[in-house]
Amino acid sequence: MFRLPERKYWRYALEDYWENFAPRKWVNENPVLAIRLSIASFVVLAIVIVWLLWPSSEYKAATPPTKAWFYDLNTGKLFTAKTGLTPPIAAPSGPLPDGRPAGVKAIVFSYIAEPNEAERFIGFLQTTEPASPKPIVFVRTIDDANWIAIDTPEGRAIIQEPFKPDAQGIMPHACLPK
């Protein structure tokens, strides 16, 4: 049967190994050089850490978009206009039959990074009621003619619908005009 050596053996073996450890002997024989080498190593490590953590000069802040998608209620087509406009706005086809502007904001999505016109889809449309003192936001899908207040359960459901993944599990992302 195999037996481990006694404790004293291990203690003497470790002491012997430590006394004969080559780097330790070198440090004992060259203390000034060992200190200089330690300082140089620390300086190199500090330089590397600072270099890795320093912000890149290539970093550029994202520029906010200057155009937004809008939907012409008369023609059913997308068009672009300046960001920050509160819908409804004037559409290329002119006003609605009742005289109101026909341009409403369109929230456009895609499942791929650089989509063409066929690869984009309109998640929902958004407009406001300009006559009210505090603008109320309304949303609707492209297929529905009824506008629903955004702060209702039905309005929130319309907003959440386009964020569902496709059949392959890919999540859509917002598509901004160029």
**What confidence tens digit (pLDDT) does each residue in 98-121 have?**
999 999 999 999 998 888 888 999
Residue 21: its pLDDT value, please?
A: 72
pLDDT band at 42 (very low <50, low <70, confident <90, very high): very high
Residue 138: its pLDDT value, please?
A: 94
pLDDT band at 87 (very low <50, low <70, confident <90, very high): very high
Q: Are 137 and 129 in contact (CB under 8 A)?
A: no
Mean pLDDT of the chain: 88
Residue 47: its pLDDT value, please?
A: 94
**What whole-number distance in Å separates Cα of residue 119 and Cα of residue 38?**
60
pTM: 0.65
Q: Are 50 and 89 in contact (CB under 8 A)?
A: no
Residue 150: its pLDDT value, please?
A: 92
pLDDT tens, 48-86? 999 888 877 676 777 888 999 999 999 999 999 999 999
